[in-house]
Homo-oligomer: A and B are copies of this chain.
Amino acid sequence: MYKDFTVSEVNEVMQKAWSAFYACKKCSLKQRAHFMRAIAIELEACGDALIQTAMSETNLPEARLRGERARTILQLNQYADACERGAWMEISIDTAIPDKNPPKPDVRKMMIPLGPVVVFGASNFPFAYSTAGGDTASALAAGCPVIVKAHPAHAQTSEMVATAIEKAAKQCNMPDGIFAHVHGAGFEVGKALVMHQHTKAVGFTGSYNGGKQLFDWANQRKEPISVFAEMGSVNPVYLLPEKLNTSASDIATMYAASITLGVGQFCTNPGLIIGIESEALKIFTHDLGKAIQKIAPAPMLHAGIAKAYKENKSNALLQDGVHLVAESEMEISSAVANPDGGLRGLPAIATVDAKTFLNNPVLHQEVFGPYSLIIRCADKHEMLRVAQQMEGQLTSTLMATDNDIHQNEALIEAVNNTCGRLILNSVPTGVEVCLSMHHGGPFPASTDARFTSVGADAIKRFARPICFQNWSNALLPEELKNENPLKLLRRINNEWTKEHVVL
């Protein structure tokens, strides 16, 4: 539908972004925030047409898409507020001590933008992690021009959102080139964008293979750059014995819903459930199976994802020692009622013993869709081994009583050590957009465990510190001036304050 950009068109876009970068650096925090809020207003103004287009491209239901647009608008407004508050700039001022030996100079530090940021949209979040999503919002807040590569699975939705951003940019008199929208279904366009000398960072949400490829390209550049790829995660759930004993059926009900939420197409979908062989685990497995049988399959995002889900699930089920517990029994009737039967993701639960799991890396891989594997451990020592050998995860969940927590210290430490978010007695699906959220995790969950892609701290990914030494007050940037004209919270000689610098 949209023609792939040529390499020379990519060059042109990046050249324009580079010129815009110098202009963007000069935009005040207020201007940046104003622009972000204007994008939010334009997104809302796209009205039903945008929702309809996204529905036709992604198969996502209307209510979900309305909710996701609202979340995208919230993100833009929340990060705009954070941009103005300026905590992300981590300002620090040390005043001079001329009679120290050697004399201490006046040094003042703040964050400045990295440069043009290339954002790759996610197929499963056409709004919140795509064109005007979290990566774009945080890069703009940091003062970086943004170049979005439209996800080919929802290119028209992306085009409509891009138009909204461009409209907002014009209204706010933002520098020409602050935003660009690039189409490219093949890998060549993505590669050209990542390898371009003017690209200074990359944001990505998607598969391990996609994210790892961008990361490798970025590190092979003459000047390596940061890639913030939020990749796959299987989000293990540990069922501790006392909790399982008292709540097996309740946990099964809770997880049947979490595993199948949004046809399992969330990066926080719980793909592994780990318990100790027991009567309670049998009850849990039985009840979860029963619940899954009754959940109707729904269409997945696109044919490629539906096909991958079928293949990956079949492959997992073919592994030695893996047994199907149950799958949805609603398939045939649904497929008859809807001609899109081929797109539907059939919910399924399987089980395997821990020894087999530990020895088969295939079973550690994400099966993107409404599928989860129950791992049966012989005892708590085996559960600990599973936790210790777990790859990096966006989330891990403990279903546990206080007593379980106290009696499994080594397990809790091992789980803590392999995830970015540790949930107690709840489900991993659902990622609150707030400052305290961390969405990221040790590799391979993300390529940089030190940064989040959700919440206003995501802005920090696209900025770096610079230190001004021995500058006179009049020549310093507003953020660092003695009189604190922007009323920012700053560290002055190690103390946080909004006060003036007193010399």
Contact = CB atoms under 8 A, between A and B. Distances in A.
Interface string A60-94: 00000000000000000000000001010010111
A449 B472 CA distance: 25
Give this chain's copy count: 2
A332 interface: no
A463 interface: yes
A109 B494 contact: no
Contacts of A114: 449
Interface string A33-77: 000000000000000000000000000000000000000000000
A463 B450 contact: yes
B422 A468 contact: yes
A307 B157 CA distance: 62
Interface residues of A, number: 73
Contacts of A467: 420-422, 436-438
Contact of A437 (B109, B443, B464): B109
A481 interface: no
B494 A489 contact: no
A464 B450 contact: yes
A416 B466 contact: yes
A440 B111 CA distance: 13
A133 to B, nearest CB: 19
A442 B113 CA distance: 12
A442 B226 CA distance: 11
Interface hub of A108, A114, A424, A448 (most chain B Cβ within 10 A): A424
A92 B447 CA distance: 23
Contacts of A225: 443
A99 interface: no
Given A22-B413, A219-B219, A423 B472 contact: no
Contact of A471 (B392, B424, B435, B494): B424
Contacts of A402: 472, 474-475
Interface string A434-461: 1111101011100111101000010010
A470 interface: yes
Contacts of A422: 466-469, 471
A306 interface: no
Interface in A90-113: 90, 92-94, 102, 104-105, 107-109, 112
Interface string A396-440: 000000100100001001001101111111100010101111101
A107 B420 contact: no
Contacts of A107: 432, 434, 436-437
A357 interface: no
A236 B104 CA distance: 22
B435 A491 contact: yes
Contact of A224 (B420, B434, B443, B457): B443
A105 B424 CA distance: 11
A235 B450 CA distance: 29
A424 B469 CA distance: 6
Contacts of A85: 494
A112 B416 contact: yes
Contacts of A465: 420, 438, 440, 450, 452, 457
Nearest to A480: B436
Across the A-B interface, give the 10 residue pairs with the lowest CB-CB distance, nearest first. A438-B467, A94-B436, A92-B436, A421-B467, A449-B464, A107-B436, A423-B469, A94-B434, A438-B465, A109-B436
19 contacts: A22-B417, A25-B417, A90-B457, A94-B435, A104-B432, A105-B430, A109-B435, A215-B219, A402-B475, A405-B475, A421-B467, A422-B467, A426-B469, A435-B491, A435-B494, A436-B491, A449-B464, A450-B460, A450-B465
Given A421-B468, A422-B471, A438-B467, 11 more contacts: A87-B491, A94-B436, A105-B430, A216-B219, A223-B442, A223-B444, A420-B465, A424-B468, A437-B467, A438-B466, A450-B464
